[in-house]
Amino acid sequence: MSAAFDVPLVLGMMRLHEARDLQDPERLADWIEARLDQGLDWFDHADIYGDGQGETLFGAALKSRPGLAQRVRIITKASIITPQRDASGYAVKHYDASPAYLGAAIDAALARLGVERLDHFLLHRPDPLMDAEATGRVLDDAVAAGKIAAAGVSNFLPEQWRRLQGAMHHKLAVHQLELSLGHSTPLFDGSYDALLRDGLAPLAWSPLGGGSVFEDRLGRVLTAEAEAHGCSPGALALAWLRRLPGGPVPVVGTLKPERLEALLQAPEPALAPPPWYALLEAARCHRVA
């Protein structure tokens, strides 16, 4: 399944609505074209990113440049209701995996982005109130209707995605999870092995730990190893991830071209086990058992 993501990283659009220099559709289209020239054609959205503004801006850029929509591949996510978007009167953050909400979310994303099909549509967070049969049916129907190429999940535990998968005809394709040197728990609690066993392509969100991988002892070890490997600390942290079985693809939130270029300079050859474990040890502050 991971062959669909034959790219070094996925571009996360969570901050697009905050990037003032990319608000103009033509300038954003230029930025997208430049990323495509780098071999980066996957863009990760969600309906809560700027309350739909991210998808709207991206859609306006695609509309301004004929043919651009056919060259990009789009992931988007839904199921999180922020307090500001809660129409119930409670103003409470919650999750909604109901068919009515997800069906409307898919249609709204297609409209904002101005595309005919989403390459991947993910449930952003697991909803404890999810009716797996009903949720599975709306996802299957969206695939059958050609609205989404494939469905997936984000932040699910194995039994949560298996309950959903058991109610579906189509195969869940993707699991987007938090994974980095700063958050390696899925490698030791069985959840990463479970997604590989179940054939889900792993996408790693916050692959640099929100910058925490550059701090303290880990930051010092990462910097020294990066110098030894002839790349940036960020590129080495991503290479550490890609070294795992299944080759998890990092979802990177920066929009700065120079930062992206530095992250693409992967070390050659791939990390050998000793430096890989040395970075893990520095991250966890203890040796493996």
Q: 191 burial class (0-12, 13-18, 19+ CB within 10 angstroms)?
A: middle
Of the candidates 150, 147, 159, the one whose C-alpha atom is nearest the C-alpha of residue 1 is 150
Residue showing tokens 């071999």:
39
DSSP SS3 for 181: coil
Tell me how far apart the alpha carbons of residues 161 and 172 are, in angstroms, rounded to a whole number.
Answer: 8
The structure tokens listed for 47 are 């309906």
49, 95, 101, 192: the catalytic one is 49
Of the candidates 273, 163, 278, the one whose C-alpha atom is nearest the C-alpha of residue 221 is 278
The two beta strands, 201-205 and 249-252, are: parallel
Q: Which residues contact 182 (CB under 8 A, 6 or more apart)?
A: 206, 208, 209, 210, 212, 213, 218, 283
The structure tokens listed for 234 are 């960020």
Q: Is 49 a catalytic residue?
A: yes
Catalytic residues, which ones?
Answer: 49
